[in-house]
Amino acid sequence: MSKKMFALLAFTITLLCLVSPAHSFSGEIDGTAVATTVHDGDTFNIDRDFHSSHTIRLADINASELGQPLSYEARDYLIQLVRGRSVYLDIDDVYIYDYSGTGDRLICVVYADYNSTHYMNVNEALVVSGLAEIKEYDNEFNVNSWTLYVPKTDIAPEFSTFLILPLFLAATILAVVLKRRAMQRT
C-alpha cells in the first residue's frame, strides 16, 4: 500500500472517530409517535401510522393492575407524561413484541420531551415515582444504565445518519485516487 493510500485510510478512520461521539448511553430512537390512550401504569396506545402494532408495553417495569394499590395513581401519572404528546420509542431489538395474551404489544423504553436539551425516560420516571417496580425481562435493555433525564444528543436514531457524509466522502476520495492511479498506469 502506498504512503498516500495509507495516509488517506488513516485520515478517514480518524475522521470517523471524531464524528461518531462516544456516549455512555446506548439508547436509540426507532420511531416517534403520539400517545393516544393510556390503559394502565405500563401500557398505552399510539397513533396507528407508526407501526403495525399500536400498543406500547413499557419495558422492564411493572405497575399494579387496575384495581390494585397505586394502580390508578400509576395510570394517571403515565397519562400526565405521555397522552397527547410525541413519544420517542426505543423498541426492543431482541423480541420486539410482548406476547402476553393481551395482543401484540411493542416492548419499548419510551422517552418524552423534558426540555429543549433533554428527554425524560418514562420507564424510569414511573420507577423513581414509586408507582412501578423494575422487573428485568430477557431483552436488550439494561435498567442499570437508565437515568431519568437523557441528553438529546445521547440518543441516536437507529441508523446513525451522522456517519453517512464522512463515509460518502471517504469512498469518493478513495474512488478518485484509485481512478487516477489506473489512468497513470495506462
- Residues of the chain by 3-state class (helix, strand, coil), percent to 5: 35, 30, 35
Where residue 24 falls among pLDDT bands split at 50, 70, 90? very low
Kindly tell me if the per-residue pLDDT of 1 is higher than 60.
no
Query: What's the mean pLDDT when you consider all of the chain?
Result: 81
Q: 142, 87 in Cβ contact below 8 A?
A: no
Distance CA 134, CA 136 (A): 6
Q: Which range scores top for mean pLDDT: 15-29, 41-55, 75-89? A: 75-89
Q: Which CATH architecture has domain 28-158?
A: Beta Barrel (2.40)
Q: What is the pLDDT of residues 57-89, one digit of tens each?
A: 999 999 999 999 999 999 999 999 999 999 999
Pairing of strands 156-157, 28-29: parallel
171 compared with 20, residue with greater pLDDT = 171
What is the average per-residue pLDDT within 125-142? 94
Q: 5, 177 in Cβ contact below 8 A?
A: yes
What is the average per-residue pLDDT within 159-176? 60
What is the average per-residue pLDDT within 152-181? 66
What is the average per-residue pLDDT within 125-140? 94
Q: 64, 34 in Cβ contact below 8 A?
A: no
Q: Domain map of the chain by residue range?
A: 3-20+162-185, 28-158
The answer for 42, left when phi > 0, alpha when psi is -120 to 50, beta otherwise, is alpha
Using a 10 angstrom Cβ sphere, with 0-12 exposed, 13-18 middle and 19 or more buried, the burial of residue 175 is exposed
Kindly tell me if the per-residue pLDDT of 56 is higher than 50.
yes
